[in-house]
Structures are given as C-alpha cells and as structure tokens.
A and B are shown apart, each in its own frame.
Chain A
Amino acid sequence: MTLILDMLTSAAILFIVATGLLTIFGVLKIINFAHGAWLTVGAYCAVATAHMGLNPWLALPLAFAAGAVLGLLTERFIVRPLYSRPLDAILATWGLGIVIGQLITLWFGRDVQFTANLIPGTVDLLGTTYSAYRLFALVAAIALGLGFSYLMEGTRLGLSARAVIMNETLARALGLDTAKIRTVTFMIGTGLAGLAGVLLTPLTSTDPTMGVAWLVGSFMLVMVAGQSFGALALACLLLGGAQVIVSTYVSPILGGITVAVLAAIILRISPKGFSRA
C-alpha cells in the first residue's frame, strides 16, 4: 500500500514540477533550462514568506507572481531573440539559471534553509499511515492537471495557444497576436515553476542549487510527453512509478537515474515519445 502511495505521490510531484516546463515547450518549442532556477525562486518565496512571519500559504500566489514577472522579463529580453535558435535558447536560459542561482546566493547565502511544512503530520488511509503532505501533493497535481485542461480546452487563451501549437503562421495570419500568446504562455510556465518550488519546500531542503536536481528529470519527462498534459501525466506515472520501484527494490542511487535512462530508451524507440498515444 505504501509502495502504491509512494508511486502515485512521486508521480504527482514530478508532474507538478514538470508542468511549467511542458507549458513552455509545448507552445514555444523552447527548452527553458532556467526552469530549475524558477523552482528555486519559488522555494525562496516560501522562505521569504516565513521570514516575514506571513501565512505560509501566501507563498503560493507570491511565487506564481514572482515567477510570472521574471518570466515576462526573460521572454522579452532573452528568449525572444532565440526562437529560431532552439539549441542556443537552451544555453541562454541555462546561463540565466546560473545568474539567478548566484543572485539568490548573494541575497540569502548558500546555506540550506528550512521552512515550516504546509501540512504537517500523517493521516491514516485504508490502514496505512502516510504523510499528509504527500497526499496533498497528489491532490494538488490532479487539481493542476484539471485546471490546465480547462485552461487549454475551455478558454480563449487555451484555444489561441493550441492554434499556435498547430500552425503558428496560420494563427498569425488569422490575426492572433502570437507574440503576446508566447509571452503569456512563458509567464504561465515560469509562474507554475515558482508555484512548484513552493510545493517542493516541505519535501526537500532549500538551497540555491536545489532546482538543478529537478531540472533534468522534468526535462526528460517533457521530452517523452511532447506537448500533451495527458501524456505528461502518463509519463510521470510510468517513469515516476519505475523510479520508486527501482529505489525500493534495487538501490536508491540507481533509482535516481531511472527516469533519465527510461526516457532515453523510450525516445530512442519512439522519437515522439507518448505524444502520439
């Protein structure tokens, strides 16, 4: 039972972390290698909220706003010139990640920070005692996934974004302001990364390089998922589940590379990943 819950919640956490990256890759076809930095920024929003003595839940909107504003600046000044050079965009955003990491270090120091758990304690679920927060993460992931499907399927922005995904030239010819759609998408992506950073704080230690550890995993998942949130959920469940199984029964260290190796193999067999499914 614990194993199943571990698998589900690990997948949920991966999903939360990867959505921001997928949003940007799906619409803009750009790999945002500063994703790790946005996660870190979000986590430090939680730290700052705690320092100021505010309600820890306030960190969520704060982090989303901080991520979105920084995303606005990033899209305008760094990413926009690089749409035609996707490999260079990876590098430029990675460089930005270095810069943000150093700025955080200058501001907060390089030490590990601790924040209060948003939901401490455990709950009994079908006779198993389990971390309440991990269960909350599962709920949050589902809410995020549903919210996003609504955004994409049910709103005008989502419709425009889907138009840009399918055929950007046509979308522009039809009078859609594709530049604005790109900017807004990028802001949502970075905002979500900030949000994910806050949600991560109870689960990992917070330090200026924490984001990098999550970057590669979410990058792999997004590559496998392609453009679809459904595929991302599937990828998180399969690869995250495999990671938990390998960590439990083989070795935690090898568990750490399960996602990356499986993603590489999946992409080798089916270069489009799960997006065709």
Chain B
Amino acid sequence: MPDLTLTNTVPQSRRVKLLAILAVAAVALVIVGPLFLDRFALNVLTRSMIFAILAITVDLLWGYTGILTFGQAAFFGAGAYVTAMLLTHVGSNPALLALGLVLSIVVPMLIGGAVGWLTFYPGSSDFYATIISLVVPIVITQLIYSGGTWTGSSSGLVGYWGINLGLDGYFRLAGLSLVAIAVAALVFVRSDAGRILTAIRNNEMRCAYLGINTNRIKILLTAILGGVAGFAGYLYANASGVVAPENAGFIFGTELVVWTALGGRGTIVGPVVGAIGIGYLSAQLSGDLPFLWQLLIGTLFVVMIIFLPNGLAALATGFRERARAGTAPRLVAEAPARPHRESDAPLLDIRNLEKSYGSQKVLEDITLSVQPGELVSLVGPNGAGKTTLMRCMTDGAAASGGIVRINGESIAGMVPNQIVARGIGRKFQVASVFESLTVAECLRMARTTLDAPSIVKTSDVLGLPQTAIDILRLSGLDQMLGTSVSLLSHGQKQSLELVMVVSLEPELILLDEPTAGLTKTERTTIGEVLKTLTAECGIAAILVEHDLDFVRDISSRIVVLHQGRLVLDGTVEDVVNDDIVKKIYSGGGHE
C-alpha cells in the first residue's frame, strides 16, 4: 500500500546514531577521566555514578510507569549486604566474587518479585505501591540492625576484600556499568515494548481492556529493576569497602527520588545528570555550608515539583516530543491472528444476572444471549443500568449474582484482561486512549497480546486487521499515525478507540455511546463501520445508545432496559412499535 507510506525511517536511524555517538563519548570520558581527576573527585564521582544507576531504576518505575517508589534503596542495600556478608564471612577469592555478583542480583530480584506480587494485584491502588515502597526499606534496615555480627548491626560491615581494582579501576567500572545500563534503558524505553510503560502510566484501565496483563508487567519490572539495583549495590560494596544500614534505608530512597525529580523524570539522561550533579556538588559544597546546601536542594525540589514537575530536562523533552511526531510506521494488513471460534455455545450468554449495591438493586434477573453477527442495541433511560450491564460482561468480579458465559465459559472471577483475551473488546463512553502516545503507538498497544512487540527497536511496520485499516482510512486517522493523541479532536479519539478495539480482533464488541458528542457525518461513518463489522465480518456488537433514530438504522435487534430489568428483547420493528417503550420514553410510565 504505497499510498499509506508516510514512513520516514531516517529520524529513527539518526536517533540510533546519535545514541551511539553519545555512548562512545561517555565511554571515552569514563576511560580517560582518571587521568585528569584527583582522588577526591574520583571517589565522589564513582559513588555518584553508582547512585545514578539507581536513579535510572527509580525513573523507569516512577517517571515512565507512574509508580512512585522509595524502595529502590532496599534492593540496593540487599545487593550490597549480600556481597559484603559473603566476602566477610566466607572469604574473598575470584570465585566468591563471581558468586557475590550473581547473588547480589538474584537475591534482590527475588525480593523484588515478592514485593511486586504483594503490591500489584487486581484493584491495587497507586498509593498502596508507595506505601509498600516505604515498608520494604524499613523492614530491610531493621533486619540489618537485628542481624548481629552477621550484618554488623548498626556499624555495618567493613574490612572485607573486594575486587582489586584500585581507585581508577573502580571509577571506570562504575562508569562503564552506568553507560551500559543507561544505553540499555534508553533503547528499551524507545522500543515498542517500552512504550507499554508509558501506556500503563497514562491509562492502566485501557491497557487491561486491551488484554495486557499490567500487573504482571509491573511485577516483572519491579523484579528486574530490583536486580539492577542489587548490581549497583554489588559495585558499591566493592568500591567503597563498607556497607551501612543507611544504604538500605528509606531516607536514601527519598534522596533517589529527589535526584530523579530534579534531573527530570521520564527521561533517562535527566536522572543520571541529576544524581551525578547533585552528588558531586554536595561533596564539594557540603564541607563549607552543609545545612545551607541541603536547604537549597530541598527548596529547589519543592519548587520543581510544583512548577516544573518534569524536572530540568523538561525543556529538552518538549523538543523531543516535537521530533517524535512525524515518525509514522507503514500500515500492513495482517491475516487474522486469532483462531476461528469452534464452540457451538452462544457467543455471549447471560443468565439471571444481578447487580446490587447494598440493598439497592441496579440490575435484576437479566437474561440475554448474543450470536455472532448480531448488532444488539441496548436502550433505556438514564439510570436503567446499561453501563453497569456492560461492566458485568467485562469484569468477572462485577456481578452480584447470575452467570455470564463467553463461548460457554463462565467469566466469574476473571479480570478484564483475561476476558478480553477470550474475544471481548470494550469501547468506553468517554474515549479511553493514551494521551502521551502517538496514534500508531496506541494501535500497537492494542496488538500487544497478539503480536509481541520488540524490546529493542521501534518497528517501521504496523500490522493491523484489514477492517481496522479500513476504519482508519474512513476516519482519516491513517494520515495521522505519527500524531500525538493529545492533539486529536474528540471525534478522532472516539474513532481511534474504536480502531484499537477492532484491532484486538474481538468476537464481540461492547460500545458505550460511541456517537455521543459526534457530528452528524462522524455518526454516519461509525454507523456504516458497525454495520460492516457485524454483517460482513461476523463480529457481534452490543451498543448502548440514546439516539433512537441511529439505533433503528443499524441494529439487528434491540433490548430495552428499564429500572434494572430487561423489559423487551426483539427486532427493531417489535420494539419501535411497542407501547411500553413509548411510555418509558415519553415519561408516561407512571399513569
């Protein structure tokens, strides 16, 4: 499809080149650094560069994924203590140093996995993650205090033999490790898979309704970044020759957040600059004016959080966002990735569904079944329970009674992403998209579960089902693949969300007022699209809609809800001519 080729792969390859040049320059600086720096500067910078690795991990969690964490210090401390304890109590030789390296990564990863599992569960809140991130360092610190001679208690461990590298060697080791981790982080966050982190921060519910298991991703991320922090701890334990309980404490965890915030969250370079810059300046200035310096940092931090939440790198980011727009992948039609349905059971089968809040019954005795290819409209006055019914079809924990089956399988107890994986796509009433991503990136999110994204590169093709491409063309979004979603109009966002849902290759689409707030033309377009999807592609659709003319034009069946009960289920003719419906809609139901 040459007419769709808006692609310019040039910026991407240029970016790779730029990154390579920066990395080589950084490596060169790190290697020649010891020739020019004095002992004091070498010491300070070695430590700061190790801390910068931690700042990167904080940034990936907080800046990118939106999980505010004070807990990275705990993983760092765990890695440092594992190393120091091994070298102190067992001995020091190359084999043990290698074992220490492995353990200092594996142990924090295991702790991280456990912490992640505890923290991220269906329905967990952002606050809870922050709470846990405070508890973990406190627990680790107290364990260190209560460890007696094993951990050296409050005086820490000192006097063990680490890798014999000397001051210059440690500077280079820390520097090279930092460059390697920074480059890896940069490559990852710019990759297709890396964009998932931003998507989670933007709109975690949409991610779940695209079938992405966000909790698993967050647990994995916590575990991996715990390992990275543990590795930094290994470097620190070796380079400094001393570990202390403060290294694992939550105060240190907050310092990491401060550096990340000042440098600029959501960029990788910002936190690195923040950690090294503040670390170095602190060491230089704190001798002369220790409290004033802290005062200055504190004040700057407060001011930045209020007025410039994206840190000093915000200006540079603005520049980058502009550069990012315009890189659009090429659209390619994909053969269906989902196996065809084999079940004889109805696509959707609801029996005696109930939903109540306390004694208030919102839905009562709903029984409804939908076959492939049907376009069922759900109508009824405000408060009839339409949206609640939609929710009960996509969240196994929502219903209070009755049963919902998809292709014969009950969804009770399933979380949204599991239900989506069974072929249900849901479009929300208010367009639910990812504001920080581009149109193409949003669409790629929708394909994540069918077409695993690369963790190293940005693909220059975007494979979508033919129907999705058709809707893109109809709505004109195919010309805006590289545009940031925040620039789209209300109607365009509605269309985008619809394309995202269609890209999931669902068997059943749930649409909550897809035409609300749209112009007449946009409305007609969506109507046509829905007819094509159901009549030609065999997808079933359930539509909540207020516009009865619109409903009459496109539906194959209409279901009327009134005060939580299903009062009518029939063809368009049946319903439009029915007395009950006339009464409900003319408000004459109470005579």
Is B298 interfacial (CB 8 A cutoff)? Answer: yes
| A98, A103, A260, A263 — most chain B CB neighbours (10 Å) | A98
Is A271 interfacial (CB 8 A cutoff)? Answer: yes
Q: Given A81-B306, A264-B118, do A254 and B146 touch, yes or no (CB 8 Å)?
A: yes
Residue of B nearest to A253 (CB): B146
Q: Given A78-B306, A102-B291, do A90 and B68 touch, yes or no (CB 8 Å)?
A: yes
How far, in angstroms, from A85 to B295 measured CA to CA in the complex? 24
A243-257, CB under 8 A of B: which get 1 and which 0?
000000001011011
Q: A92-B302, A97-B298, A102-B294 are in contact. List 10 more A-B contacts (CB 8 A).
A: A95-B299, A98-B294, A102-B291, A102-B292, A102-B298, A110-B291, A251-B146, A263-B135, A264-B132, A268-B121
How far, in angstroms, from A267 to B119 measured CA to CA in the complex? 10
Q: Are B301 and A95 in contact (CB under 8 A)?
A: yes
Q: Are B142 and A106 in contact (CB under 8 A)?
A: no
Q: Are A268 and B127 in contact (CB under 8 A)?
A: no
- List, in ascending order, chain A residues with CB within 8 A of B118's CB: 264, 268
Q: Are B295 and A102 in contact (CB under 8 A)?
A: yes
Looking at the complex, which one of B121, B142, B251, B258 makes contact with A95 (CB distance below 8 Å)? B258
How far, in angstroms, from A78 to B126 measured CA to CA in the complex? 22
Chain A, interface size category, equals 35 or more
Residue of B nearest to A74 (CB): B302
A239 to chain B, nearest CB (A): 13
Residue of A nearest to B126 (CB): A87
How far, in angstroms, from A260 to B68 measured CA to CA in the complex? 18
Is B33 interfacial (CB 8 A cutoff)? Answer: no
Q: Are B261 and A91 in contact (CB under 8 A)?
A: yes
How far, in angstroms, from A71 to B106 measured CA to CA in the complex? 45
B100-126, CB under 8 A of A: which get 1 and which 0?
000000000000000000100101111
Q: Are A103 and B309 in contact (CB under 8 A)?
A: no
B121-139, CB under 8 A of A: which get 1 and which 0?
1011111101110110011
Residue of B nearest to A255 (CB): B142
Q: Are A92 and B306 in contact (CB under 8 A)?
A: yes
Q: Are A219 and B295 in contact (CB under 8 A)?
A: no
B141-154, CB under 8 A of A: which get 1 and which 0?
01001100000000
B16 to chain A, nearest CB (A): 33
How far, in angstroms, from A90 to B129 measured CA to CA in the complex? 13
Looking at the complex, which one of A105, A254, A264 makes contact with B135 (CB distance below 8 Å)? A264
Is A170 interfacial (CB 8 A cutoff)? Answer: no
Q: Can you report 26 A-B residue pairs in the complex whose CB atoms are below 8 A from each other?
A: A78-B306, A82-B305, A86-B127, A88-B305, A91-B257, A91-B261, A92-B306, A95-B258, A95-B299, A95-B302, A97-B298, A98-B298, A99-B298, A102-B294, A103-B295, A106-B291, A106-B295, A219-B134, A223-B127, A223-B131, A253-B146, A254-B146, A260-B135, A260-B139, A261-B135, A263-B131
Is A38 interfacial (CB 8 A cutoff)? Answer: no
Residues of chain B having any CB pair with chain A under 8 Å = 68, 118, 121, 123-128, 130-132, 134-135, 138-139, 142, 145-146, 250-251, 254, 257-258, 261, 291-292, 294-295, 297-299, 301-302, 305-306, 309
Q: Are A253 and B302 in contact (CB under 8 A)?
A: no
Residue of B nearest to A251 (CB): B146
Is A216 interfacial (CB 8 A cutoff)? Answer: yes
Q: Are A216 and B138 in contact (CB under 8 A)?
A: yes
A248 to chain B, nearest CB (A): 15
Q: Given A253-B145, A267-B128, do A96 and B302 touch, yes or no (CB 8 Å)?
A: yes
A276 to chain B, nearest CB (A): 12
Looking at the complex, which one of B123, B126, B146, B250 makes contact with A216 (CB distance below 8 Å)? B250
- List, in ascending order, chain B residues with CB within 8 A of A97's CB: 298
B533 to chain A, nearest CB (A): 38
- List, in ascending order, chain B residues with CB within 8 A of A92's CB: 301-302, 305-306
How far, in angstroms, from A261 to B140 measured CA to CA in the complex? 11
Q: Are B306 and A90 in contact (CB under 8 A)?
A: no
Q: Are A106 and B250 in contact (CB under 8 A)?
A: no
B138 to chain A, nearest CB (A): 5
Residue of B nearest to A258 (CB): B142
The 7 residue pairs across chains A and B that have the minimum distance between CB atoms = A98-B298, A95-B301, A95-B302, A99-B298, A102-B295, A253-B146, A92-B305
Looking at the complex, which one of B68, B302, B309 makes contact with A99 (CB distance below 8 Å)? B302
A74-122: which residues lie under 8 A (CB-CB) from chain B? 78, 81-82, 85-88, 90-92, 94-99, 101-103, 105-106, 110
- List, in ascending order, chain A residues with CB within 8 A of B124's CB: 271
How far, in angstroms, from A7 to B251 measured CA to CA in the complex? 28
- List, in ascending order, chain A residues with CB within 8 A of B251's CB: 212
A147 to chain B, nearest CB (A): 28
A217-236, CB under 8 A of B: which get 1 and which 0?
00110010000000000000
Residues of chain A having any CB pair with chain B under 8 Å = 31, 78, 81-82, 85-88, 90-92, 94-99, 101-103, 105-106, 110, 212, 216, 219-220, 223, 251, 253-254, 256-257, 260-261, 263-264, 267-268, 271
- List, in ascending order, chain B residues with CB within 8 A of A88's CB: 305-306, 309
Looking at the complex, which one of A86, A87, A91, A223 makes contact with B301 (CB distance below 8 Å)? A91
- List, in ascending order, chain B residues with CB within 8 A of A106's CB: 291-292, 295
Residue of B nearest to A99 (CB): B298
Q: Are A96 and B298 in contact (CB under 8 A)?
A: yes
A39 to chain B, nearest CB (A): 16
How far, in angstroms, from A106 to B299 measured CA to CA in the complex? 15
Q: Are B298 and A95 in contact (CB under 8 A)?
A: yes
Residue of B nearest to A81 (CB): B306
- List, in ascending order, chain A residues with CB within 8 A of B132's CB: 264
How far, in angstroms, from A82 to B305 measured CA to CA in the complex? 9
How far, in angstroms, from A102 to B261 measured CA to CA in the complex? 20
- List, in ascending order, chain A residues with CB within 8 A of B128's CB: 267-268, 271
Q: Are A254 and B305 in contact (CB under 8 A)?
A: no
How far, in angstroms, from A45 to B153 measured CA to CA in the complex? 34
- List, in ascending order, chain A residues with CB within 8 A of B127's CB: 31, 86, 223
B153 to chain A, nearest CB (A): 9
Q: Are A99 and B125 in contact (CB under 8 A)?
A: no
How far, in angstroms, from A95 to B261 measured CA to CA in the complex? 11
A105 to chain B, nearest CB (A): 5
Q: Given A96-B298, A260-B138, A264-B118, do A87 and B130 touch, yes or no (CB 8 Å)?
A: yes
How far, in angstroms, from A81 to B305 measured CA to CA in the complex? 10
- List, in ascending order, chain A residues with CB within 8 A of B292's CB: 102, 106
- List, in ascending order, chain B residues with CB within 8 A of A82's CB: 305-306
Q: Are A261 and B258 in contact (CB under 8 A)?
A: no
Looking at the complex, which one of B125, B134, B142, B298 makes contact with A256 (CB distance below 8 Å)? B142
B264 to chain A, nearest CB (A): 14
Looking at the complex, which one of A95, A110, A219 makes contact with B305 (CB distance below 8 Å)? A95
How far, in angstroms, from A138 to B261 measured CA to CA in the complex? 41
Q: Are A99 and B261 in contact (CB under 8 A)?
A: no
B513 to chain A, nearest CB (A): 22
B226 to chain A, nearest CB (A): 17
| B142, B301, B305 — most chain A CB neighbours (10 Å) | B305
How far, in angstroms, from A219 to B127 measured CA to CA in the complex? 11
- List, in ascending order, chain B residues with CB within 8 A of A86's CB: 127
Q: Given A98-B297, A271-B124, do A91 and B305 touch, yes or no (CB 8 Å)?
A: yes
- List, in ascending order, chain B residues with CB within 8 A of A87's CB: 68, 126, 130
Q: Are A105 and B291 in contact (CB under 8 A)?
A: yes
B452 to chain A, nearest CB (A): 31
- List, in ascending order, chain B residues with CB within 8 A of A223's CB: 127, 131
Q: Given A91-B305, A98-B298, do A216 and B142 touch, yes or no (CB 8 Å)?
A: no
A43 to chain B, nearest CB (A): 18
Residue of A nearest to B124 (CB): A271
Residue of A nearest to B298 (CB): A98
Q: Are A220 and B298 in contact (CB under 8 A)?
A: no
Q: Given A92-B302, A271-B128, do A260 and B295 touch, yes or no (CB 8 Å)?
A: no
- List, in ascending order, chain A residues with CB within 8 A of B297's CB: 98
Looking at the complex, which one of B131, B257, B294 makes contact with A267 (CB distance below 8 Å)? B131
